[in-house]
């Protein structure tokens, strides 16, 4: 029988990244069998950032929980200052970064659809 699966943040070990931030993969093919999306939480230190990146094969959705950020798109072609209760949609192939410009940690939820290759249950065919 299929049923919802509940995962609490405290159950997931964080991956420390550079520049200073912690990413937790909450829902994926690995732990709940999700096939079409993955979801996690990112906490970025004051003065740090999620550096320029893009995803050629998936869309990224983000929701700012707390903190203040500067969203920089395509190397500065567009720049936005955003705060809590803000959602961001990043289409496939668009370079973007988030800089923590506040005086507290920047905490956000992210979703990839389809999931990144290393979020999938079976990555042997990649």
At 77-118, the pLDDT tens digits run 999 999 999 999 999 999 999 999 999 999 999 999 999 999
Query: d(Cα 8, Cα 22) in Å, to the nearest integer?
Result: 16
71 is written with which tokens?
A: 């969203």
Which pLDDT belongs to residue 122?
54
Where do the domains of the chain lie? 15-117
Which pLDDT belongs to residue 67?
98
Average pLDDT taken over every residue of the chain? 94
C-alpha dist (Å) from residue 10 to 7, 13, 34: 9, 8, 20
The CATH architecture one would assign to domain 15-117 is: Sandwich (2.60)
Of how many residues is the chain composed?
126
78 is written with which tokens?
A: 């567009």
Phi-psi region of 44 (alpha: psi -120 to 50; beta: other; left: phi over 0): beta
Which pLDDT belongs to residue 1?
61
Give the H/E segment covering residue 63.
Answer: strand 59-66
């Amino acid at each position: 029988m299929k049923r919802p699966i509940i995962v609490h943040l405290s159950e997931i070990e964080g991956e420390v990244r550079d520049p200073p931030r912690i990413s937790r993969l909450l829902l994926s093919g690995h732990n709940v069998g999700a096939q079409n999306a993955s979801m996690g939480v990112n906490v970025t230190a004051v003065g740090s950032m999620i550096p320029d990146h893009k995803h050629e094969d998936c869309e990224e959705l983000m929701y700012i929980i707390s903190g203040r950020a500067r969203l920089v798109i395509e190397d500065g072609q567009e720049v936005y200052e955003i705060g809590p209760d803000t959602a961001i949609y990043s289409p496939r192939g668009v370079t973007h970064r988030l800089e923590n410009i506040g005086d507290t940690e920047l905490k956000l939820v992210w979703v990839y659809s389809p999931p990144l290759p290393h979020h999938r249950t079976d990555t042997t065919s990649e």
